[in-house]
Amino acid sequence: MLVDSHCHLDFPELAGRIDELLAAMAEHDVGHALCVCVALPEFEQVLALAQRDERLSASVGVHPDYPDTVEPDVDTLVRLAAHPKVVAIGETGLEYYSTPGGADWQRERFRVHIRAARRAGKPLIVHTRAAAADTLQLLRDEGAEAVGGVMHCFTEDWETARAALDLGFHVSFSGIVTFRNAAALREVAAKVPDDRLLIETDAPYLAPVPNRGKTNEPAFVRFVAACLAELRGQAPEQIAKLTTDNFFRLFNP
Ligand code: NI
């Protein structure tokens, strides 16, 4: 069995196709998918998805790429995270690619999420892009090690992965690892320890080869798993087992 540790089934590209997506998951032995929240106004829809099928769970959080949305506070996040279907806080983090140098509101929002995760006792889903040093610094400052979590859709270097692993975090790879120009990322993926490795789609985006350019969906996580099996020299069944075990141990859905 495989698990998609990060997808956005509430996004318009996918929201009208849930039965079809669940059927494709069943067909390809994808037994669970974590529906990740990116803004509070969308949380209800994400939670409703998770409540609709036992193979789905939810997170609560506000993505750093959403400047003009309802700003979360610790109490609100902790209250929403109390629902048994909510297994994580996020996605949160820092996005300096679309916001060069970042912004104070991004850093403050990230701190709020880490504090909420610690109070709720639930792991963090961290997005970091072009912001590795600040991301690691804030995780350390706020004691994120107490709850751990995942560096999702990882695209940074080994030094960053190593620092995240040292904080007790997991590292999750998306379809990007299958892209032709991702040789450096594949070297990082080969080195992540078995007990910290996760896989995801980040659907509807980033469909893996051979479906690159199409709308992504949880069943496509099998192509990420196959790529990791090959580059790590492990059997596909072994990648499936360890990434699934890691997911259930971390998120306990
Ligand atoms: Ni995402």
pLDDT digits (tens, 9 = 90+) for 98-147: 888 889 999 999 999 999 999 999 999 999 999 999 999 999 999 999 99
CATH superfamily, domain at 2-251: Metal-dependent hydrolases (3.20.20.140)
Distance 166 CA to ligand 1 centre (A): 23
Confidence at residue 102, expressed as pLDDT on a 0 to 100 scale: 85
34 bridge partner residues: 57
- Residue whose C-alpha is closest to residue 9's, from 204, 200, 207: 204
Q: How many CA atoms lie within 13 A of 49 on its CB side?
A: 28
Distance 127 CA to ligand 1 centre (A): 8
Distance 143 CA to ligand 1 centre (A): 23
Q: Name the stretches of the chain with pLDDT < 70.
A: none
Distance 7 CA to ligand 1 centre (A): 6
Distance 238 CA to ligand 1 centre (A): 25
Distance 91 CA to ligand 1 centre (A): 7
> Is residue 35 within 8 Å of residue 50, measured between CB atoms?
yes
Distance 175 CA to ligand 1 centre (A): 12
Distance 46 CA to ligand 1 centre (A): 13
Distance 15 CA to ligand 1 centre (A): 15
Distance 146 CA to ligand 1 centre (A): 23
126 bridge partner residues: 92, 151
